[in-house]
Amino acid sequence: MRSAVDRSQFDRAPAVRLPRVARSIVVLLAVLVSGLCELVPAQQNRPNVLLIAVDDLRPELVAFGARSGVMSHVDAFAARSTIFTRHYVQVPTCGASRYAFLTGRSAHRSRAMGNEACFRGPTAIPQLDRNIANENVANQRAPRPAWTMPELFRQNGYRTTQIGKVSHTPDGRVYAYDGSGNGRDELPGSWDELATPYGPWKRGWGIFFAYADGKHREDGEGHRDLMEFVAEKDEDLPDGLLAQQAVRTIEESAPKGAPFFLAVGFYKPHLPFVATKADLEAIENNDKVEDAEDPAKSASHWFHASREFFRYANDFSNERPLPEGDRMSARRAYLACVRFVDRQIGKVLGALDRSGLADNTIVVFWSDHGWHLGDSGIWGKHTPFERALHSPLLVRVPASLKIDAPRSVDRLVSSLDVYPTLVELCNLERRATANPLDGRSLVPLLRGEREVPWRPAVFGYWNGAITVRDETHRLIFRRAKDGALRDVELYDVRSGPDPTVDLAASEPAIVERLLAYADGR
C-alpha cells in the first residue's frame, strides 16, 4: 500500500518572491497563452466553405426528375446533401445573377441587371488600394464593410481562393473579350488568391470560350463552331484544368488547419458546347435523352429568337422551331457538356473526402440560372420563365455542425438566401456589410423546422419584366412610367414549367394576389 505524502514539508517551504517586472511578464505571458488557447481551437473548428458554381446548368439531376442520369457524381453528392427543389435566381443572365448571389442584394434594390454589374457603373464594387487589398484584412481593427460574401469571410480570417468563373469574368480579372483592359480585380478585397489556370488558352476569356488545342472564340481566327467533341482527356479542356487546380488547392489546405473559403466556378455547359469525344459518345448511346416537352414557339411577349445560340456556326435547318433531329442533336451536345462537368465536380468532391476535411466543410452547389433546351422554341437563358430562373441548389452541412439536415426542402428559396445562411452556419464574428442582406438564412430549413414562417413568393427580373412566382403560379409583367401594367402574363406552374396557356385574362384574382406580393417587396 502506497504511503501517504506528508504535505507539511510543502507548507513550510519558504515563499519565493519575484521582482515586480518579472511578475508583470509572467502575468502577460499567462494572458497571451490563455488567449491563444481560446483562439486556436476556434480557428481550427470553424467550418470551411467549398462553393461549386456551374454556368448555365438547368436542374439535370435525378432529384429534380431528370431521367438522363448524366450527373452521376452530383447525384451521389445529392444523396448526402439537402436539395432545395424550388430554388430561383434573381436575374437570368450570368453577371447579374452572380452579383445578387455574391452581394446578397436583390436586383430590385441594387438595379444590377447586366453582366458588368460588379465592375462598371453605379453597382460596381469599389476598388481598394492595392497595398490595402493585399494586407491580412482579418488583423485590421476596422476594415471597410464587406461588399461581397468572400470579402466578409476574408475579414473573418478565412483564406479565400477563386478558381474559374465565380463572378462574371472567367478568372476574377477585368478584361474585354479581346484581351484589352488592365486586369483589375472584379471583386476588390475579396480574394487572397486568384488561381485560375490558363493552359494553352493563355487568358480568361480564352479559356471560357475554348475549343481544343488552345483555340478559342476570341482568338481572331474565326473559331465559332456551336459544338466540338474531339478532346481525348479531361485536362485537354479548361474545366479539366480547373478541377486539377481545385484538387491541388484542397490537398495543400489539409495540413494548414486555417479555415478556407474555396470557390470553384466551372464553365460548361455554357456555349459553345465543347467536351471530350467520349462524353458525346456516351450521350449518343443514352436512350433516356428526351426531346423538349413543348418545342413549339411560345406566343409570349417575352419569347426571344435565341440569337446567342444561333450566332455559332452550325449545320441546322433554317426552320424555326428547329426540327426534331436538330433539336435532339443540340440537346445531346448540351448534355455531353453536363456529363463532362459532372465528372470534374466529382474529382473535387473526391479530393475533399480524401483530405479528411469533408467533416468540417460546408459544400454549396449552385448554378447561376437555368437554360431553355428548345423548350418553347427557345435556346438559352434570358427569359422571365421557369426554365431560365429555376436552377439547382444543394447544401451539404458537415457533421461538425451537428445539424440533422433533411433530404430535401420544397420551400421557395432564392439565391439571396445563401449568403446569410453561410454567415450563420460559420458563426462569423464580423458581419458588417456595405448594404443590408436581402435574403433569409436557410438554417431553420436545414434544421428541418416545418413551422417556421417563410416567404410566400420569389421574384425575378429580366429586360424590364418583373416576375413573381408563388406555390402555384408565375406572373410576368412590366410597369410603364405612368405605373400602368403592360404585357401581363400568368401561368399555372403546376401544369408544367413552359409558358403555354396564359391565364391572365381569365384569373384576375390570382393576378391581383401576385401583384400584391410584388408591391410588398
Burial of 395-428, coded b for 16+ CB within 10 Å and e otherwise, reads bbbbeebeeebeeebebbbbbbbbbbbbbebbeb
**How many Å apart are CA 353 and CA 347, to the nearest integer?**
10
**How many Å apart are CA 167 and CA 147, to the nearest integer?**
13
**How many Å apart are CA 10 and CA 453, to the nearest integer?**
65
**How many Å apart are CA 315 and CA 103, to the nearest integer?**
41
Q: Are the beta carbons of 130 and 111 closer than 8 angstroms?
A: no
**How many Å apart are CA 6 and CA 11, to the nearest integer?**
10
Neighbours of 121 (CB within 10 A): 11
Number of residues assigned to the chain: 521
Q: Are the beta carbons of 272 and 209 closer than 8 angstroms?
A: yes
**How many Å apart are CA 508 and CA 494, to the nearest integer?**
18
Burial grade of 165 (CB within 10 A; 0-12, 13-18, 19 or more):
buried
**How many Å apart are CA 155 and CA 503, to the nearest integer?**
49
Burial grade of 122 (CB within 10 A; 0-12, 13-18, 19 or more):
exposed
The torsion angles phi and psi of 498, rounded to 5 degrees, stand at -95, 150
> Which among 181, 183, 79, 169 is positioned nearest to 130, based on CA atoms?
183
**How many Å apart are CA 80 and CA 95, to the nearest integer?**
30
Catalytic residues: 94, 168
Sign of CA dihedral 113, 115, 121, 127: positive
Q: Are the beta carbons of 221 and 313 closer than 8 angstroms?
A: no
Supply 407's cell numbers: 433530404
Sign of CA dihedral 23, 24, 25, 30: positive
**How many Å apart are CA 220 and CA 203, to the nearest integer?**
14
> Which among 357, 467, 372 is positioned nearest to 412, based on CA atoms?
467
Q: Are the beta carbons of 172 and 133 closer than 8 angstroms?
A: no
